[in-house]
Amino acid sequence: MSNAKRILDRLTGVKETKSGWSARCPAHEDGQASLSVAEGDAGRVLLKCHAGCSYKAIVSAIGLSEKELFDEPPADAKRAKSTKAATSKAEKKAGKAYGSALAAQKAYERKFGKPATVHRYLDENGVHVGSVIRWQRSPTDKVIRPVSLHADGWRLEQMPESRPILYRQAIVETAGTVYVVEGEKSADAAKGLGLLATTSSGGANAARFTGWSLLAGRNVVILPDADKAGRQYAADVAEILLGLDPPATVRIVDLGPDRDDGSDVADLIEPTRCLGEPLRQHIERLAAETEPLTPKAETPKANDDKPLAARPTTAPTEGYRPFPVDALPEPIATFVREIAAAVDCDPASAGVPILPVLASAIGTTRRLALKAGNEVPAILWAAVIAPVGSAKSTPFKAAVAPARARDRALREENAERLRVHERDSEIHETDVATWRKARAAGKTTEPPPPRPERPASRRAAVVDITVEALAAMLANNPRGLLLARDELSGWLGNLGRYANAAPGADESFFLSAYDGEEHSVDRRTGDRTEIGVETAAVSITGTIQPSVFRQHVTAQRRASGLLARLFVTSPPGRPSRWTEAEVSFATRQAYEDVVAALYELKADVDADGKERPRIARIAPEAKRLYVAWHDEKADEIATTRGEDLAGAISKLRGMAGRLALVLHMARAVVDRAVDPDVVDADSMRRAIVLAEWFKAEAVRTYRLFSESAEEYEERTGDEKLLAWLRRQAEPVTAREALTRCRWLATAEEAEAALSRLAAGGHGSWQSKPPGDRGGRPTRIFLLAEPADPPPTATAQPAKIPPFPSFANADDPPTLSGGVVEV
């Protein structure tokens, strides 16, 4: 362990600076991080307190002696001497070793002058192990030189293999997409755009010398330079990242596909480049439109050694029924219909993300008592699984807009309260100085003036955040938060990404946050090493691509119950077409007013002055409906094949109660005739209709995990064949199908596919008699009538199996005037 690391581990408020680190001085009551820490020659640690504390007082306060701030002698002097005698020829050729990085840099400066930039590379312990120094002598004349730490000191050469990536600490501490570029200049340019950026040292041909394990499981976008070397660097990095365990989700976004001039992100920042939109927005839009690369092979599984590319990537379209929009209360149902019509997308793309938004607005202010000791919170998780180009982002953004607007307003309030706090802190410093003079003169025996308490940061929604940071925010926001991500791969990829974290620690936190339970998180740095959250409550909503979803939802996460807690939908993909339809201002405003009213709900306050959830009761008729449906699901679980699906149906029983609570409160803030403290039969019926729809979606979506490659290829081929048949005006023969459907390889394969459709009730084989010229009868396939049309944005909700016996009754419930009728 380096001396600097030994010192830093004993300090609080540690932050990296250009010259080393800053921290709170342990020798006095320090709220301003007035201690500077740096590495000097011979491994010495340099300490300076800007408040005036002596060097000896600082060292004593952290429990060390002054001699311990120098390099420790080697444990085996003879071995060290032998190692020095056996210095390799390469090291001798490299020349002199210097006592510090600055001394090595000065050797270059004697030739090249003062550098333009110096980029420091830190290892996993935060120790400075290398620098890349750049001189920009003219717009076209640059010089780049490395220095690196070795056993005998700092040398004028590259770092050894397994080099750290740039800005390592920022990537450790920050969730979200990581942008990999070529070179430190480009990394700074991307960082200046607000992107979480990194690179490797050594240039375009040195990616393999860097350790990239920190990006395992992360969402990564590679931005190559516009030349052959830059694109090869991107390919090399992508191959490494896809080979990690777990593999990163990797996209390569070429910002200059038609150029070969070596331009990079930094060049695009110049005002002469016109993209028609801000550069960051341009990059993020291209990334969202780019399919992730596919690893060459999955992690081996029992009885499954198929390449990942051959595994299922989309849920089956057969059996899909449109989202039951009328189960939502007004004006939310109208908002979903208008969004679907305006975007030309499936209503589920808007309706499903709205449910967690409503739940997060209610937060911990309410719970529903299904019976004594069984209270469910208003916390929901939901994901729309859809491929690129399926118009999923626009309806998602419209759904979460009210939550993000509230979050912006809260952040503005936070900034104003922080400004007031800083002003009060300055006044406090003056008061403390006056108090110290009075105490020194013997004029007062009063304690020092109390320090102004830093205001808690209030938030409503988050996007990119670590578990540590999320826990700290929940401690300040006991009402709960909404985690809203247009790409959920970032959330799933960040779970358990710390190599030294306890297995499943992040998942354990989120499982607690799903139930609104007490939880604590241990931190490695910062003022609070342990954060206690009395009520962890996080609703989650977002979108994700099918292949990425399957990659991240591993068998371990399915076994932990993480997947079973997630409402999933995978609307059949179809291209979105232009439409003149729009969402009216009145409709959008009405939806925003509902969410705003839910945010105004207040919790109860107990005898100790603490906020507690207000408990809603369940009406007798609502409970009768719920109990009958609950027990019917128990029977289904007993006969359901597959642990994943059985787990999802089991969780649905509690989710129905959550849905009923959320829908009921949404009705209550609009209609004063609805008692907010008693969940009625209408709200329960709506919840059961939605729960049944989500069950059907789970059946479809979970086939992503259970189908073999052969089953997937057969199923998707049959779906394409059925779609083709519906476009034909006349019955077809197997040979006609073979000729027109190129994915069918032989006549036998075409006939087998048509026979499977016949067995599924989609049509039948018939014999067509010979024509006037005679011959043999022809075997033709006749499509069943009427054919079910593919779902559209204006399709009416499909018939939902009836209640109480959803499996056996004949007449489905209908929705009249927004009320479910059985």
More confident residue, 315 or 154: 154
Region 656-681: what's the mean pLDDT?
95
DSSP state, 196? Answer: E
| Contact partners, residue 44, CB within 8 Å, separation at least 6 | 3, 69, 70, 71
pLDDT band per the 50, 70, 90 thresholds, residue 635: confident
Q: What pLDDT shows up at residue 519?
A: 74
Round to whole Å and give the CA distance between 421 and 400.
Answer: 31
Whether the per-residue pLDDT at 331 is higher than 60: the answer is: yes
Round to whole Å and give the CA distance between 173 and 14.
Answer: 13
Structural domains for the chain: 3-69 (no CATH), 89-155 (no CATH), 168-289 (3.40.1360.10), 707-783 (1.10.10.10)
Q: How, if at all, do strands 35-39 and 45-49 pair?
A: antiparallel
Whether the per-residue pLDDT at 88 is higher than 60: the answer is: no
How high does pLDDT run on average in the chain?
Answer: 80
Q: What pLDDT shows up at residue 449?
A: 92
Least confident of 152-156, 274-278, 312-316, 699-703: 312-316
Q: What pLDDT shows up at residue 801?
A: 36
Nearest to 721 by CA among 760, 689, 694: 760
Q: What pLDDT shows up at residue 749?
A: 86
The structure's pTM equals 0.59
| Contact partners, residue 452, CB within 8 Å, separation at least 6 | 421, 424, 425, 428
pLDDT band per the 50, 70, 90 thresholds, residue 815: very low
Least confident of 126-140, 207-221, 316-330, 662-676: 316-330
More confident residue, 329 or 25: 329
- Is the link from the previous residue into 246 a cis peptide, with omega within 30 of 0? yes
pLDDT band per the 50, 70, 90 thresholds, residue 310: very low
Q: Is residue 133 within 8 Å of residue 106, measured between CB atoms?
A: no
Whether the per-residue pLDDT at 520 is higher than 50: the answer is: yes
pLDDT in tens, 243-262: 887 788 899 998 888 788 88
More confident residue, 777 or 444: 444
Round to whole Å and give the CA distance between 57 and 578.
Answer: 72
Region 304-322: what's the mean pLDDT?
49
Least confident of 349-353, 566-570, 818-822: 818-822
Q: What pLDDT shows up at residue 233?
A: 93
Q: What pLDDT shows up at residue 523?
A: 54
pLDDT in tens, 771-809: 766 667 788 898 886 544 444 333 333 333 333 333 333
Q: What pLDDT shows up at residue 530?
A: 64
Q: Is residue 419 within 8 Å of residue 452, measured between CB atoms?
A: no
pLDDT in tens, 698-709: 888 877 665 555
